[in-house]
Amino acid sequence: MAFLERLTAELGSAKNTINSYRRDLELFEDVLKEKISNLDKIKADPIGQRSSKLSQNKQKETDTLKELRDLQLLFEDDLKKEEICNLKKKAKNNSLEAIRVSSEFVREFMALSPKKNKKKEAAYKNTKENVANPNTMRRRLSVLRHYFRFMVSEKLIENDPTKHIYFPRRGSRRPKYLKEPEIKKLIEAARPTLKSSFREVRLYTLVEILYATGLRVSELVGLPIAALERDLSIVTLKGKGGKERIVPLGDPARDAIEIWRDKRKHFIKNSHSIWLFPNDKSEKDEHLPRYVFAYELNKLAEDCLKKKVSPHFLRHSFATHLLANNADLRTIQELLGHTDISTTQIYTHILEERLKKTVQNFHPMAKDSI
């Protein structure tokens, strides 16, 4: 898809971002096809025509179908020259009906919530009780806005149908994290012995680095050896959008890396791999897939904590514990690689709790009211 190629070439978007965009665009296209198919069935069925509200205005029904089919063309990979010319001619006419229909469908798509049926295929439903959460809606709108702006720049449409659709407010869900005793218990359970296997040492090192640095899981498993200073004091890496940042390493993480490097050279097929955590099951020089680490970490957590834990839990734990120990929000923003401070503000629940405790401890009339 030309749009995704442009994201990669011009904006330097990360691979995971590209994959996320691709999934949302493919889902949009699938839902659009289903919508067109359902309208076609209603139109072709005499009983459906009499009972459907759509048939109350046949011309409107026909126009809606026509505009949705034109919208569908914008998502085709191999458009014929004739189809491109027709779309460009239509764009010049600046059809208000086309904008209306497209905008309505985008709003409908944004609110769709996936529900798994018995065959484990995604079935999509949109009711008051079952709508996508605000963060999903924001992501979908962002993807489609970028896509339609690209279509405008290619002169395939005159106006962006998402232009007057506003982003919903962010969800207020608090980040999931582990408490400090839980982190200690997890690390102790992962700590290797002389009899530990190659994978056990690798898991321990991954856990230590992740909690010590708060890296994203893709940044962690994709760490090149060159990202580490000789004395292992800092990690230099490129995060989202190619943004470079420096994160210091503590003693436990440095010790873990030393143990891992000694173990690594005896077990890796490609001893000259550029990756700190190479994929031991691949003949090519590839890094460890993130799903492998996610699976091993969750298994470890279920054994020692009796709960499910994802790598992002440790990233959230890193930030939460720093804030709880009086680190300032700007420093945490830099360490996490957040472009916007508002992203880091999800951790301010710690500040709220601290303020409550301060008032409760020192205000003479607060003990009974808080």
- Quote the tokens at residue 60: 């409107």
Set 347, 349, 363, 367: catalytic member: 347
Under 8 Å between Cβ of 313 and 177: yes
Spatial distance between the Cα atoms of 59 and 97, rounded to a whole number of angstroms: 12
Backbone φ and ψ of 121, nearest 5°: -105, 155
* Active-site annotation holds for 312: yes
Q: 243-279 burial, b for 16+ CB within 10 Å, e for fewer?
A: eebebebeeebbebbeebeebbeeebeeeebebbbbb
Cα-Cα-Cα-Cα torsion 49, 53, 59, 64, nearest 10 degrees, comes to -110
Q: Which of 216, 245, 299, 316 is catalytic?
A: 216
Q: Is residue 43 annotated as a catalytic residue, yes or no?
A: no
C-alpha 152/C-alpha 18 separation (Å) is 20
Q: Report how far residue 256's alpha carbon sits from residue 3's, in angstroms, rounded to the nearest whole number.
A: 42
Residue 204 a catalytic site member: no
Q: Pick the catalytic residue from 202, 264, 315, 321.
A: 315
Coil, strand, or helix at residue 280?
A: coil
List of residues 6+ apart from 174 with CB closer than 8 A? 346, 349
Centre a 10 Å sphere on the Cβ of residue 56 and count the other Cβ atoms it contains. 9
Per-residue tokens: 311: 């790598």
Which of 240, 245, 254, 261 is catalytic? The answer is: 240
Token pair 């027709």 in the structure block, residue: 86
Distance linking the first and last C-alpha atoms of the chain: 56
- Encoded tokens for 313: 């839990």
User: Is 202 considered catalytic here?
Assistant: no
Instruction: Give me the residues paired with residue 246 across strands.
Output: 236
Segments of 170-323 assigned E as strands = 234-238, 244-248
Residues in the chain: 370
Q: Pick the catalytic residue: 170, 312, 349, 354?
A: 312
Up-side HSE of residue 70: CA atoms within 13 Å toward CB? 23
Return the structure tokens found at 149.
């702006």
Catalytic residues: 216, 240, 312, 315, 338, 347
